[in-house]
Structures are given as C-alpha cells and as structure tokens.
C-alpha cells in the first residue's frame, strides 16, 4: 500500500513541528524520557511503554547538534550527525534507526527485533554517553498522531481517495474509508532501516472505536511511506458529531484518545446542543469567533472528610477564539461516549477576552453584579461559599446558596460586546444516587453510575482522574470524561476506559483520585453586537474529591 506524497508530508510536518526549541550543545549528554512519537504518553502510564518497531521521541540535553540534522534517504542510518541510540534488554543490545537529532530532542525507530522486557536506553553524542534510562519494551502499545503534536485533541486522519485531512469542516461520512496514522502496533519482519515494510498484521487482535461504535478494519500494519509509521484503514461507522472520540484496543492495551469529525452527509459536522454546521462555516469564513457564555452552577463535594459541602456560582466569559484554536479544540464528545487524556498537559495561552461592560444577574436570589478580576475584562464571576470570610471580592459566605428557578443575566455593554439579556433555568433536581456505594474504583471492572432528576435536553458528564505519582510539573496521571443523555438515569463506564487510567498513589494517607457526576444543560442561545456565538449554561453535580483507583 503506497499513498500520495501529501499524506507523507502531513506526518513529517507533525513530527517536525513537535520539536522543542533546540538547546545549545553541552558537554554532558542527558536523557530524561523516551515516549511514543504519536501519543506522547508518559512511560509510567498503562499505555506509555515502547512497543517493538515503534517510532519514539527521546528528550534530554546535549544529545545532538543545535540545528536539526535528519536522515534523508534509505537505508536509514544508526547514527546521524554524531548521535546514536542503543537499547539493551537482557543480553541483547540493539542500535536504533535514526530519523533526526537535535540537542534536546531525538527521533528514532526501535527495531522490531528488540526483545520485550525491562531494559535501558542510552544516547551517545560525539562519543559521550548519557546515563542509562530505564525503559520497558512491550509487544504492542499503539499511539495515534494528533494535530496538536502532543497526542490530544483532533487526530491525524486522511481520506485515502482524496488524501484530505479530517477536520470540523472536512468531516467523514458513514461508510467512507479513513486512514488512522500512528505508531506502536508492533513488530514486523524484515529490515526496517532499508525502507517501509507494509503488510496487513491480521494475526494481531485490534479493535477501533469511533464515537462509541466499533469500526470495521480493512488494514492494520506499517504504512507504505515511512519507517515506524503505522496505518489503520477503517470504514467509518454510522456516527456523526464534531468531536467523536477515537481509540484503539490492541491485545488489551488501550491507545491514547483523540477525536475525529463525521457528518451524516456533507462535509461540515454539527453537534446537537453545540456547534451547528452553519456556526462552523461562519467561523471558517470569518477566521474565528467572538464567543460568550453565561453559567449558573451548583456543586456538592466530598473530600477527605465525610462531610458533604455545597458551593454555588454565577459566571460569564467572553473571548475571541481563533479558527486554529477552534479546529484544534478537543471539544465535547458525542453523547454516550467517553474519552481519556493524560496529565499534566501543556497549558494553552489565555484567549483574548472581550469587554462586555457590567454584567448583573437576577432571579430567585439577587440581584447581584458579577465581579471582574483585575486585568481580566471579559471574565465575570460570583461564588457562594458558606463560611467564606465576609467582604472577600467575588465571594458571598453568609450562607446564601442558589435556589431553583430562572436566572436572568444582563450585560450593560462594553468596548467589544454590546448589551444583551439571556435567561437560564436552574431546576436543581439532579442527584447522583449511588455515590455512597462507590468507595473505590476497580479499573478492570465496568463502573455503573446512576442518577435521578436529569432534565430532557441535558447531558450528564461523568468524569474521574487518577494520579500515579508526583512529577516535577505536578501530578502524573490520566482523566476520563463520559457524556450521556441525562434522561437515561444510568450509564456504565467501560473497563477499557478505566484501564487507561493508572492506579492512584497515596499522599498524606489519601488516594489521589477523584470521581464526579454533573448534569450539564445548554440553555438559550443569545445574540449581541460583537458576538458570533452566545450560550447560557447550567451545571448541577456531585464530586468525590478523594477516591482510589485500584
């Protein structure tokens, strides 16, 4: 199977754009991490090991030249510009197949002949070795390339006929073919350095899920373009939505989760209660959106103590979303589907907030003027926290909490967003009914969740996270989100979702995991001069801030 050059260009663009700014060469060679070149999953996570034949990225300092040097032709070398990588597992040592090198980042392919098991990796630059890095080589650990070059959000999928990349405005239709690009499907026979080795690995147990539906697989194996790059061709199932979660389960190992767009017809996706095809077309025409949202929120919570507390809030935000940010957004998955994301993740830059003047709220309690933090014109909030110190800006701690009813937000108009009025209903009827019975989460078993009071047209967000360890930039772990029709009253989180999370570590005697269930209501849309898209939202839920994933 050989495909057009633009598909190859897309993949190498993803790889090369992922380069960090090269550091200056140093006398010492340090190797700090080695990850799947598509998923970027932390090696400590369940799907973060290196598979035989995987294209991987090594991070460190002093590993190569300040300016990127690439392998430019087959056969691919085991050394580029003085950089080489060796992997030792047991009594076997393999030289990795080099793709490119810089001082801080190196890309290579782990030979398929590398034995599975615990071992070490060493980078050598101009005769100087790094300290060995502990790694684990496994038979399978697939990662899907993502547009953000970090394994999250929209994935890299192409139409094998037109070679067009999937996006919100280039959605796939049911029954069409789509190529999923990734790496880590496993070993292949032959000399990978000498050129691509395509071939359908039919003996490998692979399942692909798109929007909660299993997709038919027509090919799974190495691509015909590149060493270490895998290609899975599927027939798109009968699903539609802008942010359909896609993941792969191979021999029991779950890949990273990314999203794709599908439409029942046409090329622009839409989501019920979210973006419409017309919205997205408008954003495409204008190069972005001016977006506004107002919200009413009630949240019950339980932490280390058995006491259940309630904290409520009113809020509003107005910002300018670029077309690029919109197209790369992870979005909200389709109903009755789940996805998983690792953390920590890179913090996105703050958006450009839009001044809407004074925003006030009236309803069963109030009226209140929302508070704007200094320097954040366009962000407004008011929190109701029983026991909070009196006189704290933006906090009301006198015991006041939300009451059922309709809340009306009024914007006085500012430099960017002109006056508006919109209302949102807060029924306050939602209840997570089996939270008391869930004292821990067994990741190998499905997790049933039940609730009452879900409103028609609303969705329920079931979310959880588990931290495996403390890292230099915060906890290392993974989180999941499932979105469900609120009127169903129950949903079972699949074991395949939970297995993508790590077991929870303990800190001060408390497991570092959480589990929450929240009703989300997207109410009336509103318009104002200066806004392209305005929505009113209501949230009502319960969060268990400390729970163990085992």
Q: What is the DSSP string of 514-529?
A: EEEEEEEEEEEE---T
State the Cα angle at 152 between 205 and 24, rounded to 5°.
115
Tell me: do 134 and 147 sit in the same domain: no
Closest C-alpha among 507, 506, 498 to residue 441:
498
Whole-number Å distance between alpha carbons of 130 and 161: 45
Contact yes or no for 199/185 (Cβ under 8 A): no
Condensed to tens digits (0 to 9), the pLDDT of residues 379-422 reads 999 999 887 777 788 999 888 999 999 999 999 999 999 999 99
What local confidence, expressed as pLDDT, does residue 274 receive?
Answer: 66
Last residue of a domain, one of 138, 163, 182: 138
Whole-number Å distance between alpha carbons of 266 and 236: 14
Residues 19-47, mean pLDDT to the nearest whole number? 79
Tell me, yes or no, whether 348 lies in a domain.
yes
Buried b (16+ CB within 10 A) or exposed e, 8-47: bebbbebbeebeeebbebeeebebebbbbbbbbbbbebbb
Structure tokens given for 327:
């197209």
Tell me: do 293 and 349 sit in the same domain: yes
Tell me, yes or no, whether 272 lies in a domain.
no
* Residue 315, domain extent: 277-549
In DSSP terms, which residues pair with 89 in a beta bridge? 92, 119
Tell me, yes or no, whether 40 lies in a domain.
yes
Tell me, yes or no, whether 269 lies in a domain.
no
What local confidence, expressed as pLDDT, does residue 4 receive?
Answer: 30
Tell me: do 411 and 315 sit in the same domain: yes
What local confidence, expressed as pLDDT, does residue 27 receive?
Answer: 64
Mapping DSSP to helix (H, G, I), strand (E, B) and coil, where does residue 369 land? Answer: strand
What local confidence, expressed as pLDDT, does residue 54 receive?
Answer: 98
For residue 477, pLDDT beyond 50: yes
Tell me: do 223 and 281 sit in the same domain: no
Q: Which of 6-10, 275-279, 315-319, 483-487 bottoms out in mean pLDDT, i.e. has the lowest?
A: 6-10
Tell me: do 71 and 127 sit in the same domain: yes
For residue 9, pLDDT beyond 60: no
What local confidence, expressed as pLDDT, does residue 398 receive?
Answer: 86
Tell me: do 245 and 349 sit in the same domain: no
Q: Which of 92-96, 328-332, 457-461, 472-476 bottoms out in mean pLDDT, i.e. has the lowest?
A: 328-332
What local confidence, expressed as pLDDT, does residue 307 receive?
Answer: 87
Condensed to tens digits (0 to 9), the pLDDT of residues 490-507 reads 999 999 899 999 999 999
CATH code of the domain containing 52: 2.60.40.10
CATH code of the domain containing 171: 2.60.40
For residue 104, pLDDT beyond 70: yes
210 or 17, which is more confident: 210
Tell me: do 345 and 441 sit in the same domain: yes
Tell me, yes or no, whether 396 lies in a domain.
yes
388 or 356, which is more confident: 356
For residue 18, pLDDT beyond 60: no
Tell me, yes or no, whether 464 lies in a domain.
yes
pTM recorded for the entire structure: 0.86
State the Cα angle at 73 between 69 and 77, rounded to 5°.
65
Residue 7: phi and psi, rounded to 5, are -65, -40
Tell me: do 517 and 536 sit in the same domain: yes
Non-local (6+) Cβ contacts of 252 within 8 A are: 499
What local confidence, expressed as pLDDT, does residue 272 receive?
Answer: 63
CA distances from 76 to 44, 65, 328, 475 (A): 30, 19, 33, 38
Closest C-alpha among 16, 103, 101 to residue 66:
103
Tell me: do 113 and 233 sit in the same domain: no
Tell me: do 96 and 178 sit in the same domain: no
Contact yes or no for 179/277 (Cβ under 8 A): no
Tell me, yes or no, whether 309 lies in a domain.
yes
Tell me: do 179 and 292 sit in the same domain: no
Q: Count structural domains, the chain.
A: 3
What local confidence, expressed as pLDDT, does residue 75 receive?
Answer: 96
CA distances from 282 to 52, 72, 267, 288, 306 (A): 45, 42, 14, 8, 49
Residue with tokens 């980042």: 105
Structure tokens given for 19:
């380069």
Last residue of a domain, one of 215, 231, 262: 262
Residues 101-111, mean pLDDT to the nearest whole number? 98
Last residue of a domain, one of 201, 227, 262: 262
Non-local (6+) Cβ contacts of 439 within 8 A are: 547
For residue 46, pLDDT beyond 80: yes
CA distances from 521 to 313, 329, 517, 538 (A): 15, 20, 13, 5
Tell me: do 153 and 131 sit in the same domain: no
Mapping DSSP to helix (H, G, I), strand (E, B) and coil, where does residue 280 land? Answer: helix
Structure tokens given for 339:
């996805």
State the Cα angle at 95 between 94 and 100, rounded to 5°.
145
Task: Kindly indicate the confidence band of residue 455, based on its pLDDT and cuts at 50, 70 and 90.
Answer: very high
Condensed to tens digits (0 to 9), the pLDDT of residues 245-299 reads 999 999 999 999 999 999 999 999 887 656 677 877 888 888 888 999 999 999 9
Tell me, yes or no, whether 296 lies in a domain.
yes
Task: Kindly indicate the confidence band of residue 330, based on its pLDDT and cuts at 50, 70 and 90.
Answer: low
CA distances from 505 to 513, 514, 520 (A): 8, 12, 30
């Amino acid at each position: 199977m050989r495909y057009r050059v633009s598909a190859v260009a897309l993949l190498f663009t993803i790889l090369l754009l992922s380069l960090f700014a090269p550091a200056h060469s140093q006398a010492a060679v340090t190797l700090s991490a080695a990850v799947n070149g598509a998923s970027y999953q932390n090696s400590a996570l369940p799907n973060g090991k290196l598979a035989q034949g995987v294209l991987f990225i090594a991070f460190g300092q002093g590993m190569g030249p300040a300016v990127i040097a690439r392998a430019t032709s087959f056969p691919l070398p085991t050394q580029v510009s003085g950089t080489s990588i060796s992997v030792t597992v047991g009594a076997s040592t393999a030289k990795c197949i080099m793709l490119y090198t810089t001082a801080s980042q190196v890309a290579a392919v782990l030979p398929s002949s590398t034995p599975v098991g615990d071992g070490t990796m060493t980078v050598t630059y101009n005769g100087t070795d790094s300290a060995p890095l502990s790694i684990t080589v496994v038979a399978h650990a697939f990662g899907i390339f993502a547009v953000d070059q970090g394994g999250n959000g929209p994935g890299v999928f192409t139409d094998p006929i037109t070679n067009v990349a999937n996006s919100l405005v280039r959605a796939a239709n049911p029954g069409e073919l789509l190529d999923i690009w990734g790496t880590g499907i496993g070993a292949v026979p032959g000399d990978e350095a000498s050129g691509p080795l395509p071939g359908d690995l039919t003996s490998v147990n692979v399942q692909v899920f798109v929007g909660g539906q299993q997709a038919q697989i027509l090919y799974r194996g190495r691509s015909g373009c590149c060493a270490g790059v895998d290609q899975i061709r599927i027939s798109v199932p009968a699903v539609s939505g802008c942010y359909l979660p896609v993941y792969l389960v191979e021999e029991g190992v779950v890949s990273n989760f990314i999203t794709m767009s599908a439409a029942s017809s046409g090329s622009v996706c839409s989501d019920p209660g979210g973006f419409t095809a017309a919205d997205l077309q408008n954003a495409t025409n204008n190069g972005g959106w001016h977006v506004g949202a107002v919200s009413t929120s009630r949240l019950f919570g339980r932490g280390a103590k058995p006491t259940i507390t309630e904290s409520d809030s009113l809020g509003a935000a107005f910002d300018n979303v670029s077309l690029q940010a919109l197209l790369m957004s992870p979005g909200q998955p389709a109903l009755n589907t789940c996805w998983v994301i690792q953390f920590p993740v890179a913090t996105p830059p703050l958006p450009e907030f839009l001044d809407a003047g004074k925003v006030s709220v009236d309803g069963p309690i109030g009226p209140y003027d929302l508070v704007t933090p200094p320097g954040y014109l366009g962000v407004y909030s008011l929190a109701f926290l029983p026991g909070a110190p009196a006189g704290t800006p933006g906090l009301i701690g006198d015991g006041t909490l939300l009451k059922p009813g309709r809340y009306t937000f009024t914007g006085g108009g500012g430099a960017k967003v002109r006056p508006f009025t919109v209302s949102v209903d807060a029924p306050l009827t939602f209840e997570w009914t089996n939270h008391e019975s869930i004292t821990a989460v067994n990741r190998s078993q499905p997790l049933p969740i039940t609730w009452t009071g879900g409103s028609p047209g609303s969705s329920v967000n079931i979310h959880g996270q588990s931290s495996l360890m403390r890292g230099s930039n915060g906890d290392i772990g993974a989180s999941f989100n499932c979105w469900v029709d609120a009127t169903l009253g129950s949903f079972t989180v699949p074991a395949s979702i939970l297995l993508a999370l790590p077991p929870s570590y303990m800190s001060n005697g408390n497991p570092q995991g959480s589990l929450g269930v929240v009703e989300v209501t997207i109410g009336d849309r509103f318009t104002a001069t200066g806004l392209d898209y305005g929505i009113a939202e209501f949230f009502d839920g319960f969060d268990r801030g400390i729970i163990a994933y085992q």
